[in-house]
Amino acid sequence: MEGQIRSNITEGTEVDIVQKHHQRTGELTTGFVKRLLTKAPKHTHGIKVLLETGEVGRVKKIYE
């Protein structure tokens, strides 16, 4: 699924995110969504989320 569409992501979903300081390298962090931070229905760089571990980043991959 696409991480650019807000309706594809819900709290508790397992995702890969890229954090702001890892944007150049593209290093991904895996975790579970605690809260969606992007209010818009779509975002070209990915929906911004807060993971249960406290990390914030944009969704690059959604696990089903």
Give the CATH number for residue 49: 2.30.30
pLDDT in tens, 17-53: 999 999 999 999 999 999 999 999 999 999 999 999 9
Question: How many H helices and E strands in the chain?
Answer: 0, 4
Asked whether residue 1 is assigned to any structural domain, the reply reads no
pTM to 2 decimals? Answer: 0.93
36 CB-near residues (< 8 Å, 6+ apart)? 6, 9, 11, 47, 48, 49, 50
Q: Are the beta carbons of 30 and 49 closer than 8 angstroms?
A: no
Tell whether 25 is covered by a domain. Answer: yes
DSSP bridge pairs for 30: 16
Q: Residue 24 falls within a domain, yes or no?
A: yes
pLDDT of residue 2: 85
Residue 27: domain span: 6-62
- Domain count within the chain: 1
pLDDT of residue 28: 98
Collapsing DSSP states into helix, strand and coil, what is residue 7?
helix
Query: What confidence score (pLDDT) does residue 4 get?
Result: 97
